[in-house]
Copies of this chain bind each other. A is one copy, B any other.
C-alpha cells in the first residue's frame, strides 16, 4: 500500500527519475534541475569533471534505453535516416573535441543587481570545459544524403530533444547550415563526455556539441535532426535566447528584431579570490585566478588583471592544461573551442584596505569585454560579458 502510494507519487512527478547530483553544486532551480559548481573548484581542473559541470535542464531528464534508442535524421530528399546508438558508434569515425560550453545566462546574477531581469540566477560558473567524442554531424548529414542539391536550399539544422513538457512538446532549436557542414565546424553528435558515456544530466545517450556556440543549441537527449530552409520555430529559438538594447523592456520587446544567439562574445571571470574574501596584509603577494573564453573558435590571447579598480593593468599567465602539466596542443586558427585558465601573482598593493580586482580578456579578433554592465543590460539577463569585478578586504593580523 505504502509502496504503491510512493510509486504513484513518483509517477506524478516527472522529475522523480532525475539522476543523483553532487552535493557541492549550487542549485538555482530543482525542477528542472539547474546548478553550478563553486567558482574556486571550477578552475581547479582544465577539464571539468562531469559531476561538477553546470547542469542546465529545461525539462525533466528523460530516461533513454540505449538499446532501443533511435536518432531520426529528416528533411533530406532521400527520406528519413534512422540510426541506432550502435550505428552512430560504428558507421562514422569517432571524433574528439575539447570544447567549452557556456550558458547564455552565465553571470546573470550580476546583471540582475543592476536592474531586475527574468531568469535563473546564475553566478559565474555556468560554464565548463570537456572532451566530447562522437560522430561528426557533417558525416551523418552526408550519409543521410546531403549534397550540392541540398546545399542550394538548406539553411538550418534543427535539433529536437527527447525531453518533453507536459503537453508533450520537446526542447528544440537550430543552428545555421554553414556551422553544421563546415569541415572546421567540429559539430558533434557526442556519445562520450571526458572519455565515458555521456551522463544522464548531460544528454545520455547522445547530445549535440556545437563548439563556440551558446549552450542552448547543444541539444541533449537528441531525438531528431531536421535539415531545413527555415530556422527552428521553437520557443527557444524565436522567443528566448536573444539579446536586446538596455532600453528595451517587456512592453516593447519585438523578438523578430533580434537574431538568435549563436556564437558567444569574449568572456572571463575571477574565480579566486571570491567576492568579499579577506586577504591578510602580511601576505606579500596576491594570487588571482580565473577562466577566459571566446565564442566562434576565437582564441583568448590575453587577460588583463587590475588590482586597483581598473587604474592599472597587469597581464596574467594563460594555460591550456592543468597546472604544472604541458598545455594541450594549439588548435588551428578559428577552431580554438576550449577556454584558457589564467593566473596572476602580484605584490599586494600597499596601504589599501580594500581592493577592487578586475579581469578582462582579449580574443584573437581583438574583441574585448565592455567595462560595465548597465549598457549591456537586457531584460532576460543574457550575455553578461562585462569586466568581472570582485572586492576583497585587506586586514591586519
Contact = CB atoms under 8 A, between A and B. Distances in A.
A315 B259 contact: no
Nearest to A332: B178
B370 A259 contact: no
Contact of A371 (B301, B304, B365, B370): B370
Contact of A365 (B264, B310, B372): B264
Copies of this chain per assembly:
2
A178 B336 CA distance: 14
Contact of A176 (B245, B296, B333): B333
A153 interface: no
Nearest to A315: B245
A376 B268 CA distance: 16
B265 A365 contact: yes
Interface string A62-95: 0000000000000000000000000000000000
Interface in A264-308: 264-266, 295-296, 298, 301-302, 304
A169 interface: no
Contacts of A195: none
Given A245-B313, A258-B301, 4 more contacts: A245-B302, A259-B364, A296-B365, A371-B375
17 contacts: A245-B302, A245-B314, A246-B304, A247-B313, A259-B364, A262-B365, A263-B298, A263-B366, A266-B367, A296-B365, A304-B375, A310-B375, A313-B375, A360-B375, A368-B375, A368-B376, A371-B372
Of all A-B residue pairs in the complex, the 6 with the closest CB atoms, nearest first, are A263-B365, A371-B371, A265-B367, A367-B367, A247-B313, A176-B333
